[in-house]
Amino acid sequence: MDSNQLFKYVYAKYGLKFKPAVPGSTSVYVLMSPVDSGYFAMLSRGQGQSILDLKCGAMAALIRDLPGFTDPMKIKAADWVGAILEKVSEDLLKKALDFAFKLAMNGDEVNIAQNQYFYIAPDKVDDRYQAQAIKPSENLRKKHNNSLVPDRIRKMLEIYDYSILPSRGRAKNFYQQARMMADYDDDYPEFFAFKRFYPTYHDMNTGQLRSYFTWRSKIRQHVFEKTSTSYAFVYIYELLNNIGVDDAQDGYEKLLEFEGKYVRQFDISIDVYLQDWLKDYVLYYDLDEKIIKQRFASEIKRDHDYEVLHHPEKFTAQELAAVFAKKTTYWNSSKVINKNEKLFVQLLRYVWLELLDAKKYGIAYYSAFVGKPDIIEKPIFAGSVFYLRKQQVADHQIDAVRKYHFYQGKWQIHCDQQISRQRVNLNNFLHELDRVARTEFKLGRSIKPRFIDQAVLKAINAGVAEYRIQEKKAQIDQIKIDFSDLDQIRANASKTRDSLLTDEEKQLEQAEAQEEVEKQADETVKVDNEYGLDENEMFFLTALLMQQPWQTYLKQHHLMASILMDNINEKLFDEFGDVVLENNEQDQPQVITDYVDDLKDMFLKG
């Protein structure tokens, strides 16, 4: 709204005109109260910006914090506020101007009545006109037909305080009206649907109010019927504000009953909001610790995994391995780890404890690659109509990781946030642990190293060395055996065994020995690559890496892309701990982006 539009609006709404503060001035205009001719608005027009100063009394400090409002331009007083016309929303400007006008008309006393005032501008000198209340419009009369409004509802409507700005007044008015209607019952035969975001009583007409209270009366008798979603939200808002309940525990039980018998039966779309509000409810009203633990069960389970990863010294090797099995794909897919699980469970703990020693290796691995401690701010009962009455709310330590602290109407949630690419980071770590372990413990063919911070690699080697030291110490107390006659014992045992074998058993044993020799010979045969890919699989993978056509080749050789993909993924799984090929949105094979560079290094650079 620019200054010209403001002039027209003020004249149309109040019948008042802005006047130059100094005769002939075009930069500063004032708006005077018809009651005492005092200023309640002053407009300053400059180059590219116009500021309207408004006298808003005790509400000035609150209004000043709204978007588009600032300190007054000309009148430096605590009860004045400035509005930048080019930045403030038209709706907020009109409400603030209306508040300043009502304040001026009532001699600086806040008007809480529902009367609307219109000032009739005088022609020269004529004192026959004065501020007067406008008669209710036809729509307003239809909305609340006094002949049909029960006395309790009428009184509830009358207590609405229009002097409070919507930013806080909407919730406060709802709470005050809800307290008045807490024990009200109705039995209205008709039904009026209702649809509104953040609904309150103030948004309803008489038919809707009576429809709601009739439906609520049935709910309180444990009769649950489908109704407008907005009515359901109003009922939840009442319970969140502890309206119509004996105490907070009773309110919680009513919320659970409504969740089970209405939300899950008739309107599951409400559930996503209700679950969040239930968590706020048990904390805000400081319910029993057992209830809080139940409500935060999923968060506690998630936080437990982060606690294990961050402080492995508090947990067993099996608990640490279980977390890695959940958070990575490599742990469950590596054949070497699966075959030597007992070794890797113990090895993982030694290495992980070593890796988390930030001072020793100069890298904060947990906070950089796994989870970062953070503080998240979230409004209490976000998205609801809730009147905040308590300024002090107890802190709640949900578990070792998660803590809720209340500050200025918001939760400050202390928790560990997942680092981007966490799974890839942990998979890479396990791959390097697997690679080093294969060499140290001779567990199978070697695999190519992945790019990883050298500090991490040092920690892995140090952890493996520590494991070997501890294993040797564990053997010190074992029983010592005299091996002086061991060769003779073996010779006698072999002779006895041979004498017990039949000729058929001896031949079978010789055949098995020969097969083993042939098998070892086959394994020494060299192929074009160390991963067992045949000629067709090599062609297919190379074509995908170089983005070259492959369809004709497969057709001529009677091959299927899906079978080649499965074979390549299976043969490279030990190397990557993951599939490297997948179908895109057009159902065509492609190389997974994360592995393109590694595959090119393995197969295209000799």
In contact, 331 and 426? CB cutoff 8 Å:
no
Residues 160 and 273 in one domain: yes
**Quick one: pLDDT at residue 175?**
96
Higher pLDDT, 74 or 312: 312
Structure tokens at 292: 């809080």
Mean pLDDT of the chain, nearest integer: 85
Higher pLDDT, 605 or 173: 173
The whole-number average pLDDT for the span 339-368 is 92
Higher pLDDT, 136 or 249: 249
**Quick one: pLDDT at residue 193?**
96
Phi-psi group of 200: left, alpha or beta (phi > 0 → left; psi -120 to 50 → alpha; rest → beta): beta
CA-CA distance, 102 to 114, in Å (whole number)? Answer: 11
Q: Is the pLDDT of residue 111 over 90?
A: no
317: exposed, middle or buried (C-beta count within 10 Å: 0-12, 13-18, 19+)? Answer: middle
CA-CA distance, 295 to 133, in Å (whole number)? Answer: 53
CA-CA distance, 407 to 483, in Å (whole number)? Answer: 74
Flag whether 376 is in a domain: no
**Quick one: pLDDT at residue 527?**
45
In contact, 231 and 212? CB cutoff 8 Å:
yes
**Three-state secondary structure readout of 73-113:** CCCCCCCEEEEECCCCCHHHHHHHHHHHHHHHHCCCCCCCC
Residues 228 and 278 in one domain: yes
CA-CA distance, 600 to 606, in Å (whole number)? Answer: 9
pLDDT in tens, 398-410: 999 999 999 988 9
The whole-number average pLDDT for the span 584-588 is 87
Residues 56 and 21 in one domain: yes
Flag whether 128 is in a domain: no
In contact, 577 and 430? CB cutoff 8 Å:
yes
The whole-number average pLDDT for the span 574-587 is 85
Q: Is the pLDDT of residue 519 over 90?
A: no
Three-state DSSP at 209 gives helix
Which residues, listed in sequence order, are joined to residue 19 by a DSSP beta bridge?
A: 30
pLDDT in tens, 171-182: 999 999 999 999
Q: Is the pLDDT of residue 517 over 50?
A: no
Which residues, listed in sequence order, are joined to residue 53 by a DSSP beta bridge?
A: 42, 82
Higher pLDDT, 605 or 278: 278
The model's confidence at residue 362, banded by pLDDT at 50, 70 and 90, is: confident
**Quick one: pLDDT at residue 126?**
46
Angle between helices 248-258 and 271-284 in degrees, nearest 10: 170
Flag whether 141 is in a domain: no
Residue ranges making up the domain that contains 193 = 152-295
**Quick one: pLDDT at residue 474?**
83
Q: Sign of the C-alpha dihedral, residues 231, 233, 236, 237?
A: negative
Q: Which of 277, 295, 313 is the last residue of a domain?
A: 295
Q: Is the pLDDT of residue 146 over 50?
A: yes
With a CB cutoff of 8 Å and minimum separation 6, the contacts of 25 are none
DSSP 8-state code for residue 269: G
Residues 172 and 74 in one domain: no
Flag whether 134 is in a domain: no
Cα torsion through 499, 505, 509, 512, rounded to 10:
180
Q: Sign of the C-alpha dihedral, residues 168, 173, 174, 178?
A: positive
**Quick one: pLDDT at residue 22?**
80
Flag whether 385 is in a domain: no
**Quick one: pLDDT at residue 573?**
85
Least confident of 58-67, 86-95, 392-401, 520-529: 520-529
If you average pLDDT over each of 117-126, 140-149, 298-307, 546-555, which comes out highest? 298-307
The model's confidence at residue 477, banded by pLDDT at 50, 70 and 90, is: low
**Quick one: pLDDT at residue 117?**
41
The whole-number average pLDDT for the span 424-441 is 94
Flag whether 322 is in a domain: yes
DSSP 8-state code for residue 263: I
Residues 158 and 194 in one domain: yes
CA-CA distance, 437 to 351, in Å (whole number)? Answer: 11
Backbone φ and ψ of 8, nearest 5°: -65, -40
DSSP H helices in 329-379: 330-333, 335-339, 341-355, 358-361, 365-369
With tokens 């054949």, the residue in question is 335
The whole-number average pLDDT for the span 572-594 is 87
Residues 587 and 498 in one domain: no
Report the domain count for the chain. Answer: 5
The whole-number average pLDDT for the span 159-165 is 84
The model's confidence at residue 76, banded by pLDDT at 50, 70 and 90, is: confident
CA separation, residue 150 to residues 47, 89, 140, 175, 210 (Å): 56, 38, 17, 20, 9
**Quick one: pLDDT at residue 482?**
54
Backbone φ and ψ of 18, nearest 5°: -70, 140
The model's confidence at residue 437, banded by pLDDT at 50, 70 and 90, is: very high
In this structure, the number of other CB atoms found within 10 A of the CB of residue 326 comes to 9
Structure tokens at 204: 């309803």
Flag whether 381 is in a domain: no
CA-CA distance, 424 to 328, in Å (whole number)? Answer: 8
**Quick one: pLDDT at residue 69?**
87
Residues 430 and 458 in one domain: yes
In contact, 251 and 285? CB cutoff 8 Å:
yes
**Quick one: pLDDT at residue 528?**
63
Residues 67 and 31 in one domain: yes
Residues 282 and 341 in one domain: no
Residues 164 and 288 in one domain: yes
Which residues, listed in sequence order, are joined to residue 413 by a DSSP beta bridge?
A: 376, 404
Residues 456 and 307 in one domain: yes
Whole-number percent of the chain with pLDDT over 70: 84
CA-CA distance, 209 to 545, in Å (whole number)? Answer: 67
Least confident of 15-24, 453-462, 513-522, 587-596: 513-522
Structure tokens at 190: 């008709």
**Quick one: pLDDT at residue 415?**
96
Q: Which of 236, 266, 295 is the last residue of a domain?
A: 295
With a CB cutoff of 8 Å and minimum separation 6, the contacts of 176 are 159, 161
Identity (one letter) of the amino acid at 246?
Answer: D
pLDDT in tens, 231-286: 999 999 999 999 999 999 999 999 999 999 999 999 999 999 999 999 999 999 99
Higher pLDDT, 20 or 138: 20
Residues 194 and 254 in one domain: yes
**Quick one: pLDDT at residue 213?**
97
pLDDT in tens, 479-495: 455 555 555 666 666 66
Flag whether 225 is in a domain: yes
